[in-house]
A = this chain, B = another copy of it.
Amino acid sequence: MNSEQLLNNKIEELKEACKKNGMRVTPQRIEIFKEVAKSCKHPDAETVYEAVKHKMPNVSVDTVYRTLASLEELNMIFRVDNLLPKARFDADLRPHNHFICVQCNEVYDIFLEPDEKKQIPKNAHSFGEIKDINIQIRGICNKCLKNNTK
């Protein structure tokens, strides 16, 4: 299955999810979701807005914000933890972690090897009901390391 087919599947999933939740399938919703889903850059709202504008020049920023929030509620995308004031989004629902470059703020996906599995700290359970565990690695990415030595 190629990436275009995967994307189409995801869009079908989104349509289903909308219907199931009494939400309408609008072109804006599709386009905004597509932008997040096809990017591996974990884009922020502004970036999504700029990209969507190419296809829908009349789209507005607030629609992008509202739509990203809706998509999040539908569990079709989620926010990536980052220490910056800008929220960033990810449509890859497979469990994975992130490497975040502290210099250029690029976010890279880290998938665990088959023999690794997420370990939940023992004490974590004592604080409440766990919904999600998230491992983040912060560091300097290869691209920046290379630029730094120039």
Contacts and interface: CB of A to CB of B under 8 A. Distances in A.
A51 to B, nearest CB: 22
Contacts of A130: 137-139
A102 B129 CA distance: 10
A116 to B, nearest CB: 6
Contact of A111 (B82, B123, B140, B145): B123
B99 A124 contact: yes
Count this chain's copies in the assembly. 2
A70 interface: no
A80 to B, nearest CB: 9
The contact size tier of chain A is 35 or more
A62 to B, nearest CB: 16
A22 interface: no
In this complex, the member of A127, A135, A138 whose beta carbon has the largest number of chain B beta carbons within 10 angstroms is A127
Interface of A: 79, 81-83, 85, 87, 97, 99, 101-102, 108, 110-113, 116, 119-124, 127-145
20 contacts: A81-B83, A97-B124, A99-B128, A108-B127, A113-B123, A121-B137, A127-B139, A128-B139, A128-B141, A128-B142, A128-B143, A130-B138, A130-B139, A131-B138, A132-B138, A133-B136, A133-B138, A134-B135, A134-B138, A135-B136
Given A81-B81, A128-B141, 7 more contacts: A81-B83, A99-B124, A112-B123, A127-B141, A129-B140, A134-B138, A135-B136
